[in-house]
Copies of this chain bind each other. A is one copy, B any other.
Amino acid sequence: MNTKALEKAALSVRALSIDAIQKANSGHPGLPLGAAELGAMLYGELLRHDPSDPAWVDRDRFILSAGHGSMLLYSLLHLAGYKDMSMDAIKSFRQLGSNAAGHPEYGMAAGIEATSGPLGQGIAMAVGFAVAETMLAARFNTAAHKIVDHYTYVLCGDGCLMEGVSAEASSFAGHQKLGKLIMYYDSNKITIDGSTDLAFTEDAAKRYESYGWQVLNGSMYDFDEIARLTALAKAETSKPSIIILTSIIGKGSPNKQNTADIHGAPLGPEEIAITRANLGILGDFYIAPEAAEYFTAKQAEWKKARAHWQLLFDAWSKENPEKRREWDTFYSGKATTAALPVYNAGDKIATRTAGNKALAAVALKNTNLAGGSADLKGPNAVGLPAELGTWGAANRAGQYIHFGIREFAMAAICNGISLHGGFRSYCSTFMVFADYLRPALRLSALMRQPVVYVLTHDSVFVGEDGPTHQPVEHLASMRVIPNLCVLRPGDAEETAEAWAIAMERTGGPTVLALSRQNITVFPKSDPDWKNTIRTGAYIVKQAEDGTPDIIIIATGSEVSIALEALDKTTGKNIRVVSMISKELFESQPAAIRDAIVPPGVRVIVCEAGVRFGWERWAKPEDILSIDCFGESGPAADVGKHLGMTAEALAAIAGR
């Protein structure tokens, strides 16, 4: 270990960070300056990676959970030789189109493993990476060839630890004995408001012990200690490790270090001059020659290690052709088509139950699909066929995951599993608790990860549990998220297709909104409905007499209400459309939309949720919706009380 070079690398991180932030006149120097030594150690000594092949499957992962310190990551990616993080990118930090965005954005530059910034989620995603590593290793490693063997490193700050999601994820990680997860805690005792004494004096070491982690303590500014503690973390294979590194925020800035001022604002030209003099920074965007040389030498080493792994992988492939085929399927980026369950019109089945049958079919064909529920395996109906096993310390090849009552961490862990590569992930809870996991759902969408969210009990027809458990605003609240596809199938047949659509998706997450209550499978007028439904809507019931007077657009369980309303309406020629995805349908070309909902025809909408958003399709008075919180009572009573009935719909149609 070349301590001298590492010092120069840390100096270069500081130099690049203060200059990039100053040039942008925006950014967070506190963390890059405070944690530069750890960064240098990670990218120089600790990480097994190869900047010339950032997608190397068996690389170690590093997630900067404290994403505001993005210049730490960018500086290191640049120094280590990641091409996407050129000096031009660094110099255009926080400018439109720069790979060096304000916070690390997944997909903007190779080497950024996850989008971070929303605090705490980086920790939970790192847990997901570590989960995925165990799954991949268990599937593919052989006694002779350990082709999967990498660590997940994460760097967090006080903010991440204060966020509840870190508690959920860390408790899960300890329980699940994720020995290859190593977290560095940049403990600088300063937050935006000032000292952590204002709000955060818990004993983090004891807290992590309570979760079953190995807890190690040291200084941020002792390379040998970081090396030693990391070695101890690696040596403990049955516990994740937290390495608490005492640090100084903004270290190197003589007047601003150790104050809240340096957390999130440029140093200013004066303080930059003083800092440069203090540290020995010899120019703009300075990279110390020793650091450059060091990383150049490292690049050769890394390439060698990467090539060595390739030999291992090739040998393994030769000896294990079947495993290799499975591996290629895992990494194909495409789901394998499954034969979906078949139903007959008239079958009575809740769409959550139909979802379970579809999930079973899909999971048996896609053994890289892993996921579970936040302690609602039965109610959500998301268990997997027994042969697929339960993932855990005792069986790292299992596909079902017990997340515990931790919705937010569950979703973030699923993001991590998906980001890791090789796996698809799904998670599940009651739809009303989508609120609990919403920040991670947003990151799924922003990072375009095809995580499947199975959200059951999708309306007031939940019944007795009452308003705390009855979603009314949730469909609308999720439809507004860009890149997210909300699918609310109307019966068991549609549910099977919905699972297929979710698995076909690669550019973003999918919500499957499923019913608690039984729904009767209905006949479909459109003979090609299984294709048409992929536009977001199709004609369930053609108007008796050719051109309709009225089109009823309904979703989910309300398609049945619409069909029932037909019998209660006379003298009208009504078409019923099941709009499984409002946003998908609205994104279609006009010709496709017009074929299903021709312009000029009166439209009535029926959905057991808020009206908001449906005014695009119908006049307010033609929307049968629920614009208040629900009530506790048997489902049918609640529906009647809130006017969500076939009678009420027929009355609107009859007007």
Where the two chains meet, the residues of A that have a C-beta atom closer than 8 Å to any C-beta of B are 24, 26-27, 67, 94-98, 101-103, 105, 115-119, 158-159, 162-168, 171-172, 174-175, 191-193, 198-207, 209-212, 373, 375-379, 402-409, 432-433, 435-436, 438-439, 442-443, 445-446, 463-469, 472-473, 476-477, 479-483, 610, 612-613, 615-616, 620, 627-629, 631-634, 637-638, 641
Contact = CB atoms under 8 A, between A and B. Distances in A.
A357 to B, nearest CB: 20
A477 B174 CA distance: 35
B164 A96 contact: no
Contacts of A408: 164
Contacts of A118: 432-433, 436, 468
A480 B375 contact: no
Given A204-B210, A613-B615, A637-B96, A103 B463 contact: no
Contacts of A175: 199-202
Nearest to A205: B210
Given A193-B378, A465-B102, A629 B96 contact: no
Contacts of A24: 464
B469 A117 contact: yes
Nearest to A108: B632
Contacts of A192: 375-379
A283 B80 CA distance: 77
Contacts of A103: 465-466, 468-469, 632
Nearest to A614: B615
Given A162-B406, A193-B402, A206-B209, A67 B468 contact: yes
10 contacts: A94-B464, A97-B633, A101-B632, A102-B469, A105-B467, A118-B433, A162-B405, A167-B167, A192-B379, A435-B442
Contacts of A442: 435
B629 A483 contact: yes
A159 to B, nearest CB: 4
A568 to B, nearest CB: 23
A402 B199 contact: yes
B480 A612 contact: yes
A27 B159 contact: no
A158 B479 contact: no
A641 B96 CA distance: 8
Given A402-B198, A476-B612, A165 B163 contact: no
Contacts of A119: 405
A407 to B, nearest CB: 8
Contacts of A115: 468
Given A95-B633, A199-B402, 19 more contacts: A26-B463, A101-B466, A105-B466, A115-B468, A118-B436, A159-B405, A163-B407, A164-B167, A164-B406, A172-B199, A174-B201, A175-B199, A202-B210, A206-B209, A209-B210, A473-B480, A473-B482, A476-B480, A612-B612
A375 B195 CA distance: 11
B117 A162 contact: no
**7 closest residue pairs by CB, A with B:** A164-B164, A199-B404, A96-B633, A167-B167, A615-B616, A206-B210, A102-B466
A174 B193 contact: no
Nearest to A438: B435
Given A165-B164, A405-B158, A466 B435 contact: no
Q: Which residue, A96, A479, A627, has most C-beta atoms of chain B within 10 A?
A: A96
Given A378-B193, A405-B159, A632-B103, A610 B480 contact: yes
A118 B628 CA distance: 18
Contacts of A166: 164
Contacts of A26: 463-465, 634
A283 to B, nearest CB: 25
Contacts of A638: 96
Contact of A102 (B95, B96, B464, B612): B464
Nearest to A484: B473
A28 to B, nearest CB: 9
B403 A199 contact: yes
B612 A446 contact: no
Contact of A210 (B207, B373, B633): B207
Contacts of A473: 480-482
A481 B481 CA distance: 16
A159 B374 CA distance: 10
Contacts of A613: 476, 612-613, 615
Contact of A465 (B117, B375, B472, B612): B117
A101 to B, nearest CB: 4
A207 B198 contact: no
Contacts of A628: 482
Nearest to A433: B118
A479 B210 CA distance: 40
A51 B633 CA distance: 27
Q: Which residue, A101, A210, A404, A627, has most C-beta atoms of chain B within 10 A?
A: A404
Given A96-B632, A167-B164, A482 B477 contact: no
